[in-house]
């Protein structure tokens, strides 16, 4: 019996940074195989090698027992491999039909492909409107499209990269159920589930492989592992501080709600916000944030949170209603590279960016460099000094830097989007600590995270945004999850 | 009985032909996510190559030589932008400068610096029986050189290819989202390179047309910005073959307006105004077209990168 | 070598490498075209540096407009604006300067000279302003609009010198010669080098200092590096910064045009040496550094002066020099990507 997918001795380096070292993985046919590890452990890179997107420096890839050489995505697809990427690989401007057809050869008749989409939908329960444009679909439908695309090319082995990251809890459960069914459907089927969520892995997986810093540290039947033993494997023996542990096995912590006495810093009354095209994305929202509290916003992507947060931060006008905010509100955007940093400028210059809009006259560069150096040291940002380029910092250090920049002058309020996207557990814990410290110093914090666990563990109060409608809900998983989907 | 209007329309189509050829090529290039402002250079290289070969071998060979010259100069552009990922605008500017210098040099060494008028055989108009008798538009559409008729076939062919083949779909996907294309098994670099080279061939043909179907001679810088106008035509035509053809006709008409006014005896208007008209029209059209929304996404996302 | 010494020698080293590469390319092209490289090079060297007169009145005189337009392009590019329209903005400046001068009669006071220059500056800024407005209001790509405006400017000048501004005998396509008092004084006796050279050097220094040391300069650089981060994290008014950068760019090119008319040609003509296009190469090869622009402007001034001499004395067409410029740009790009891919 050959494995559905077998990787042996895969190594990959970028420059002199080893991302994968001698990693092996065997996926038994008919099983769900969870590939676990924190962000940056190498899981996605490993599967990109398996799919032919990236060429490994060493090692072999075998699909259904046949060794592949000169591997490309086209080969992988032809051999029955399908991959659903973390950041979807769909062409937003095109229709579902066009996206599913992409990559085939010869003449292309939309009607045939649409028929194919319907058939797959009936067979698997993943239904889609073939003529809808991908950018108009909700996130969960876009993910279905990715899967249908793979199935339409007769994929037998599916690789799903962090599929539950953008889904509400109910949607995530439905997906995981579907994954189990798919694997069980046919002896040649198999699923590789890349995730950093222990709970999801243990819920559906038959086998588990754990990566840490690019090497395989554990693998075997899922039934032989517990949450604790998996956390141990993911983190390694030296990293078990309570803060980091809390990231790996999130629990909703009890908070002392003593914030009633503090004054309101941010207040929104029936606020409506439009997007760039003039469409209303937030409808008549009312809420407030007090000094010394963290308010978390839970929502499925595309519910209007981007527009709302940017309005609160002062980067966008409100179309109607009243928004009371102090003039100086810090903002940490989701896209570090695109919206927060000048990658090819020094850290000093990046630090000076903060008040670049209002500064007049000469820029005291030496003074700013000294301040930057002090901040780097105080906030434990690993950098050789303030003169180096922002691009050379790791993702975690970049985020710590951006956060430090926003907090350094103790603004009355801070707005953040997805504070720990793409960060490993250690950096995540550091960011959460920094936010807690800021809260304790009296700063009013409003944040959004697409990761429900982060919202629940970090926030003192939880707001839910669904289709532009905002409500406050009690801080527990079930209720918030259902509110995110508009089910309550 | 041929009226000034007939003449004007016929001139409009004739002038539009090289613009349409270049613009159709650029349309494919830009659908792949690359903007080639070296198009201007490819046109001028094509014109010179066509001049030299037609003068010695023959007109058909001249067209082929023009296409080949456009291809070769654009190959340099393709290597820099698709494989070295250099900035498209700067590279395009350099290619145009290079072409102008190269053609100036080659022209002088072939034909000397005396500036004596050079004459090359041209292809005449071929009247299509019956169709060319249609009032008003008959002569304009069906009494043209063969190269214009080639366009009549090419435009619908390209429209069909964009929408009804997987390769056309792949090109569009590469222009919208190269990452999505890669994940689907398409090879963006190859697609982009082919799209760019196709644009080069078409630009070379446009240059050949300028010489072999219109002026019958070569002057330095004879492209006079037509490559840039072609880019505006692509925007106005919303990156679709039929749209591009229509937009090219509009610009052909603007250029031909000069002759209409002359034949109507309206001579007070300074002729520089007519020369400037296509360029002003480009600006007006671009302002109205608000093309950003319809542009292939990879094109709109591009920004200046300098080492 | 400590950091500041390194900062000083690095650009000089770059310039030296550039000059060396230029020579190599030049020789290669000469040989490939079948010319006698050594005669050609000698003619070129004589024309560019062979005498005091050559240096000042051939090379440096050409370097002045190249430096000013090179600055214009460098500032625009630094702000992320692809201003390919320096040529048109230069022509607009030249035309405005000539028109203003013609208003003042036959013997105007020398005090009116600054006014003439200012007219050129304003005109260049306005010409660039058209492209800036089209970009901001309608999203028109400035690459295309500035190139279109180049052609329009060319034809407007063509009309002016055959119409409203034509010289009295109505025979030649050129304007009336400028009154003596409205001509830029010479910088060095007996040469054609005029005080415009001082403008170029001063403005280059000022631009360099402004970009490095002031908040406004930092804002411009930030917008050029990442407009989205500049707006989101820097709270910079990107639209305003872009507009001012575009206008400043046009102003500098307009000044170049006014300086050419008042300092070299003393009249408006129908043809242009194409400084505005060469300026792109001047700016790029100087890595958009204002001080570096002075160096590359001299290099290209020498190339063009030498190129003319080469054509006159050795029969090598000037078009070859254009090719050298283009090849240099391509080499620089290729070199960048080579080094960049090691990142």
Q: Is C214 in contact with A352 (Cβ distance < 8 A)?
A: no
Residue tagged 């080469």 (tokens): C310
ipTM: 0.88
Number of H helices, E strands in chain A: 16, 19
- Interface probe, candidates A340, A342, A390, chain C, greatest C C-beta count within 10 A: A342
Task: Count up the domains in chain C and report the number.
Answer: 1
Helix segments in A314-364, DSSP class H: 347-352
Q: Could you tell me if C46 and C59 are in contact, meaning their C-beta atoms sit under 8 angstroms apart?
A: no
Contact with chain C for residue A87, Cβ under 8 A: no
B303: contact with A, CB 8 A cutoff: no
Pairing of strands A264-274, A280-290: antiparallel
Alpha-helical regions (H) of chain B: 4-31, 39-56, 59-78, 88-111, 137-142, 146-164, 166-176, 178-183, 188-209, 226-236, 241-263, 271-289, 297-301
> What's the pLDDT score for residue A108?
79
Contact list, B290 vs chain C (CB under 8 Å)? 138-139
Would you say residue C137 lies in a domain? yes
Helices (H), chain C: 3-32, 37-49, 52-53, 61-78, 86-103, 113-138, 142-160, 196-213, 215-225, 227-232, 238-260, 275-285, 290-314, 319-340
At A461-475, the pLDDT tens digits run 999 999 889 999 998
The tens digit of pLDDT for each residue in A212-227 reads 989 999 999 999 998 8
Q: Is the residue at C340 inside a domain?
A: no
Torsions phi, psi for C21 (to 5 deg): -60, -40
Q: Which long-range contacts (CB under 8 A, 24 or more apart) does B266-272 make?
A: B270/C159, B270/C162, B270/C163, B272/C155, B272/C156, B272/C158, B272/C159, B272/C162
CA neighbor of C326 nearest in space, from C62, C96, C40, C29: C29
When computed from its CA atoms, the radius of gyration of chain B, rounded to whole angstroms, is 19
Sorted by where each begins, the domain ranges of chain B are 4-113+128-301
A421-442 per-position pLDDT tens digit: 888 888 888 899 999 999 989 9
| Contact indicator for A192, A5 with CB cutoff of 8 Å | yes
**Distance, first Cα to last Cα, chain B:** 62
Reported as a single tens digit per residue, the pLDDT across C193-220 is 899 999 999 999 999 999 999 999 999 9
The answer to whether C279 touches C66, Cβ cutoff 8 Å, is yes
- Give chain A's domains with CATH numbers: 5-248 (3.40.50.300), 259-484 (3.40.50.300)
Q: Is residue C342 a part of any domain in this protein?
A: no
- State yes or no: pLDDT of C106 exceeds 80: no
Q: Using an 8 Å Cβ cutoff, are C221 and A353 in contact?
A: no
* Closest by CA position to B234, among listed B306, B175, B275: B175
| More confident: A305 or A17 | A305
What are the tens digits of pLDDT across the range A250-288?
Answer: 766 556 555 555 889 999 999 999 988 888 999 999 999
Q: What is the mean pLDDT of residues C228-242?
A: 95
Residues near B41 by beta carbon (within 8 Å), at least 6 away in sequence: B73, B95, B96, B97, B98, B99, B100, B227
User: Å from A145 to nearest chain B CA?
Assistant: 13
Q: Do C215 and A339 touch (CB under 8 A)?
A: no
Tokens of C281: 């190469």
Report yes or no: B111 at the C interface, CB cutoff 8 Å. no
pLDDT of residue A36: 93
How far is it, in rounded angstroms, from Cα B98 to Cα A152?
48
- Report pLDDT digits (tens) over C281-335: 899 889 899 999 999 999 999 998 998 888 888 888 888 888 888 888 888 888 7
Q: Does position C1 have pLDDT exceeding 50, yes or no?
A: no
pLDDT at C312: 87
Question: At CA C305, angle to CA C302 and CA C310, rounded to 5?
Answer: 110
- Measured distance CA(A369)–CA(A379) in Å, rounded: 15
Q: Are A88 and B183 in contact (CB under 8 A)?
A: no
Residue C90 in contact with residue C256, Cβ under 8 Å? yes
| pLDDT on residue A443 | 93
Please answer whether residues B210 and B223 qualify as being in contact, where contact means their C-beta atoms are separated by less than 8 angstroms: yes
Residues 365-384 (A) with a CB less than 8 A from some CB of C: 365
| CATH number for C229 | 1.10.3470
Pairing of strands A280-290, A461-466: unpaired
Cα(C152)–Cα(C87) distance, rounded to whole angstroms?
A: 11
CA–CA distance, C76 with B250 (Å, rounded to integer): 32
Look at residue B293 in the predicted model and tell me its pLDDT: 58
Q: Any CB–CB contact under 8 A between B171 and chain A?
A: no
Domain B4-113+128-301 in CATH 2.60.40? The answer is no
A38 φ, ψ to 5°? -75, 175
> How much is the pLDDT for C242?
97
Could you tell me the CA-to-CA distances from A281 to A73, A274, A284, A311 in Å, in that order? 38, 5, 10, 12
CA angle B247, B251, B254 (to 5 degrees): 140
- Collapsed DSSP state (helix, strand, coil) of residue A358: coil
- Of B169, B179, B187, which is closest to A102 when you measure between CB atoms? B169
pLDDT at A402: 95
Taking an 8 Å cut-off on Cβ atoms, the answer to whether A92 and B177 are in contact is yes
Does residue A176 carry a pLDDT above 90? yes
Of chain C residues 324-343, which have a CB less than 8 A from chain B? 324-327, 329-330, 332-334, 336-337, 339-340
Please name the residues between 57 and 76 in chain A that touch chain B, using a CB distance below 8 Å: 72-74, 76
Walk across the sheet containing A294-298 and list its strands.
A329-332, A413-417, A444-449, A294-298, A461-466, A469-473
Contacts of B297 in chain A (CB under 8 A): 92-93
| Contact yes or no for A233/A217 (Cβ under 8 A) | yes
Q: Which two tokens stand for residue C260?
A: 């050419």
Range of the domain at C158: 56-335
- The neighbours of chain B, by the rule of 3 or more Cβ pairs under 8 Å, are A, C
Q: To which residue do tokens 């006079």 refer?
A: B224
Distance of alpha carbon A442 from alpha carbon A440, whole angstroms: 5
Mean pLDDT of A384-388: 90
Contact across the interface for B109 and C339, Cβ inside 8 Å: no
The SS3 assignment for A448 reads: strand
Strand partners, C166: C175
Q: Please give the angle made by the CA atoms of C216, C221 and C222, to the nearest 5 degrees.
A: 95
For the residues A136-149, what does the mean pLDDT come to? 90
- Whether the Cβ atoms of residue B225 and residue B277 lie closer than 8 Å to each other: no
Separation between Cα atoms, residue A140 and residue A127, nearest integer Å: 11
Reduce the DSSP state of residue B210 to 3 states and report it.
helix
Touching check for C226 and chain A: CB below 8 Å? yes
**How high does pLDDT run on average in chain A?**
89
Q: What phi and psi, each to the nearest 5 degrees, are found at residue C86? A: -55, -35
CB atoms within 10 A of CB A392: 13
Asked if C277 and C67 touch (Cβ cutoff 8 Å), the reply is: no
Higher pLDDT, C105 or C42: C42
pLDDT tens digits, one per residue of B246-276: 999 988 988 888 777 777 777 667 778 888 8
C95, C298 contact by CB (below 8 A): no
Shortest CA distance to A86 belongs to which of A32, A48, A29, A134? A48
Name every residue whose Cβ is closer than 8 Å to that of residue B157 and which is 6 or more positions away in sequence.
none
Cβ-Cβ contacts under 8 Å for C207 (sequence gap 6 or more): C71, C74, C75, C290
How far apart are alpha carbons C288 and C292 in whole angstroms? 7
Strands (E), A337-468: 413-417, 444-449, 461-466
The verdict on B301 touching C (C-beta cutoff 8 Å) is no
Question: Does C120 fall in a domain?
Answer: yes
- Say how many residues make up chain A: 488
| Encoded tokens for B193 | 């390179």
pLDDT in tens, A105-142: 877 788 889 998 999 888 888 889 999 999 888 888 99
Residues 303-362 of A with CB under 8 A from C: 314-315, 331, 333, 338-345, 349, 352-362
**Residue C146 DSSP symbol:** H
Residue matched to tokens 């590359």: C296
> In sequence order, what are the beta bridge partners of A274?
A280
Model pLDDT for residues C43-53, shown as the tens digit of each residue: 888 888 888 88
Q: What is the pLDDT of residues A329-383, one digit of tens each?
A: 999 999 999 999 999 999 999 999 999 999 999 999 999 999 999 999 988 888 8
pLDDT for the residue numbered B304? 44
- Segment C112-129 mean pLDDT: 95
Residues with pLDDT less than 50, chain B = 303-307
Give percent of chain C with pLDDT exceeding 90.
Answer: 49
Rank A241-245, A257-261, C102-106, C338-342 by mean pLDDT and report only the highest: C102-106
Q: How much is the pLDDT for B307? A: 31
Decide: A90 and A125 in contact? Cβ < 8 Å.
Answer: no
Give yes or no for a contact between A222 and A198, defined as CB atoms under 8 angstroms apart. Answer: no
The answer to whether B303 and C141 have CB atoms below 8 angstroms apart is no
Of A373, A371, A437, nearest to A407 by C-alpha is: A437
What percent of chain C clears pLDDT 70, i.e. is strictly above it? 96
Strand partners, A331: A415
């Amino acid at each position: 019996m050959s494995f559905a997918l077998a990787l042996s001795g895969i190594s990959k380096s970028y420059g002199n940074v080893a991302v994968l070292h001698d990693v092996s993985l065997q996926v038994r046919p008919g099983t769900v195989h969870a590939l676990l590890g924190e962000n940056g452990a190498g899981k996605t890179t490993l599967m990109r090698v398996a799919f032919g997107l990236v060429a490994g420096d060493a090692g072999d890839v075998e699909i259904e027992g046949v060794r592949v050489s000169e591997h490309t995505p086209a080969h992988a697809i032809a051999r029955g491999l399908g991959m659903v990427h973390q950041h979807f690989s769909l062409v937003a401007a095109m229709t579902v039909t066009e996206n599913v057809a992409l990559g085939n050869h010869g003449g292309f008749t939309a009607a045939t492909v649409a028929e194919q989409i319907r058939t797959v939908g009936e067979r698997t329960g993943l239904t889609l409107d073939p003529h809808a444009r991908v950018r108009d679909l909700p996130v969960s439908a876009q993910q279905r499209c990715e899967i249908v695309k793979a199935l339409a090319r007769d994929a037998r082995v599916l690789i799903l990269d962090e599929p539950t990251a953008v889904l509400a809890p109910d949607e995530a459960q439905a997906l995981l159920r579907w994954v189990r069914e798919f694997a069980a459907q046919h002896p040649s089927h198999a699923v590789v589930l890349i995730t950093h969520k222990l709970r999801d892995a243990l819920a559906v997986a038959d086998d588990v492989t754990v990566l840490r810093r690019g090497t395989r540290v554990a693998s075997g039947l899922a039934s032989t592992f517990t949450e604790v033993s998996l956390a141990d494997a993911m983190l390694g023996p030296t990293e078990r501080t309570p803060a980091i542990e809390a990231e790996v096995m999130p629990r909703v912590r009890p908070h002392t709600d003593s914030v009633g006495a503090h004054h309101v810093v941010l207040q929104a009354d029936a606020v409506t916000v439009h997007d760039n095209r003039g469409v209303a994305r937030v409808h008549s929202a009312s809420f407030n944030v007090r000094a010394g509290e963290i308010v978390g916003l839970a929502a499925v992507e595309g519910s209007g949170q981007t527009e709302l947060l940017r309005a609160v931060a002062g980067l966008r006008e409100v179309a109607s209603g009243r928004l009371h905010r102090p003039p100086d509100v810090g903002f940490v955007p989701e896209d570090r590279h695109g919206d927060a940093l000048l990658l090819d400028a020094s850290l000093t210059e990046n630090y000076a960016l903060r008040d670049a809009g209002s500064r007049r006259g000469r820029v005291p560069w030496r003074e700013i460099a000294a301040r930057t150096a002090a901040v780097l040291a105080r906030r434990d940002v690993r950098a050789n000094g303030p003169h180096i380029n922002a691009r050379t910092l790791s993702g975690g250090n970049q985020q710590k830097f951006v956060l430090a920049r926003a907090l350094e002058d103790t603004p009355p309020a801070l707005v953040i989007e997805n504070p720990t996207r793409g960060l490993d557990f250690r950096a995540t814990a550091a960011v959460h600590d920094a936010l807690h410290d800021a809260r304790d110093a009296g700063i009013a914090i409003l944040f959004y995270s697409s990761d429900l666990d982060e919202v629940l563990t970090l926030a003192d109060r939880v707001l839910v945004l669904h289709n532009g409608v905002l409500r406050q809900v009690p801080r527990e998983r079930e209720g918030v999850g259902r509110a995110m989907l508009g089910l309550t | 009985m041929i009226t000034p209007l007939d003449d004007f329309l016929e001139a409009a189509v004739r002038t539009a032909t090289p613009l349409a050829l270049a613009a159709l090529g650029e349309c494919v290039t830009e659908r792949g996510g690359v903007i080639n402002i070296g198009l201007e250079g490819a046109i001028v290289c094509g014109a010179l190559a066509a001049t030299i070969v037609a003068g010695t071998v023959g007109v058909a060979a001249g067209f082929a030589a023009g296409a080949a010259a456009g291809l070769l100069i654009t190959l340099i552009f393709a290597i820099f932008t698709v494989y070295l990922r250099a900035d498209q605008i700067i590279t395009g500017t350099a290619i145009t400068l290079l072409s102008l210098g190269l053609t100036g040099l080659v022209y002088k060494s072939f034909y000397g610096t005396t500036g004596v008028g050079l004459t090359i055989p041209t292809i005449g108009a071929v009247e299509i029986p019956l169709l060319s008798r249609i009032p008003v538009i008959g002569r304009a559409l069906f009494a043209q050189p063969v190269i214009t008729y080639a366009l009549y076939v090419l435009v619908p062919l390209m429209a069909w290819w964009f929408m009804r083949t997987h390769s056309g779909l792949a090109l569009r996907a590469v222009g919208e989202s190269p990452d999505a294309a890669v994940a689907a098994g398409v090879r963006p670099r190859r697609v982009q390179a082919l799209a760019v080279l196709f644009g080069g061939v078409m630009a070379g043909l446009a240059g050949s047309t300028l010489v072999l179907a219109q002026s019958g001679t070569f002057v330095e810088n004879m492209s006079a910005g037509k490559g840039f106008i072609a880019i505006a035509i692509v925007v106005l035509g919303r990156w679709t073959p039929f749209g591009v053809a229509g937009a090219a006709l509009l610009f052909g008409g603007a250029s031909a307006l000069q002759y209409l006014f002359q034949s109507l005896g309206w001579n007070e208007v300074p002729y520089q105004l007519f020369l400037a008209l296509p360029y002003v029209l480009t600006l007006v059209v671009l302002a109205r077209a608000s093309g950003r929304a319809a542009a292939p996404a990879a094109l709109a996302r591009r920004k200046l990168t300098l080492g | 070598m400590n950091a500041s010494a390194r900062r000083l020698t690095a650009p000089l080293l770059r310039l030296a490498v550039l000059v060396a590469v230029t020579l190599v390319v030049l020789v290669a092209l000469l040989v490939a075209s079948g010319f006698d490289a050594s005669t050609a090079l000698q003619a070129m060297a004589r024309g560019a540096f062979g005498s005091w007169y050559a240096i000042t009145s051939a090379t440096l005189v050409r370097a002045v407009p190249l430096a000013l337009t090179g600055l214009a392009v460098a500032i625009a590019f630094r702000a992320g604006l692809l201003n390919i329209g320096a040529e048109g903005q230069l022509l607009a400046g030249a035309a405005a300067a000539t028109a203003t001068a013609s208003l003042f009669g036959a013997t105007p006071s020398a005090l009116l000279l600054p006014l003439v220059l200012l007219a050129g500056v304003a005109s260049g800024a306005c010409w660039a302003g058209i492209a800036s407005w089209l970009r901001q209001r309608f999203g028109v790509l400035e690459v295309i609009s500035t190139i279109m405006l180049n052609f329009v400017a060319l034809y407007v000048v063509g009309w002016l010198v055959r119409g409203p501004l034509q010289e009295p005998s109505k025979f030649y396509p050129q304007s009336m010669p400028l009154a003596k008092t409205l001509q830029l004084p010479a910088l060095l006796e007996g040469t054609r080098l005029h005080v415009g050279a001082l403008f170029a050097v001063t403005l280059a220094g000022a631009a360099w200092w402004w970009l490095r040391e002031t908040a406004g300069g930092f804002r411009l650089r930030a917008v050029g590096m990442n407009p989205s981060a500049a707006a989101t994290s820097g709270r910079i008014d990107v639209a305003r910064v872009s507009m001012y950068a575009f206008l400043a760019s046009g102003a500098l090119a307009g000044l170049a045009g006014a300086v050419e008319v008042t300092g070299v040609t003393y009249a408006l003509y129908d043809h242009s040496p194409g400084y505005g296009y060469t300026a792109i190469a001047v700016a790029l090869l100087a890595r958009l550094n204002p001080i570096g622009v002075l160096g590359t402007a001299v290099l290209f001034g020498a190339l063009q002066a030498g190129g003319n001499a080469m054509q006159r004395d050795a029969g090598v067409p000037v078009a070859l020099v254009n090719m050298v410029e283009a090849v240099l740009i391509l080499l620089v790009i290729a070199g960048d990507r080579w080094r960049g891919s090691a990142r």
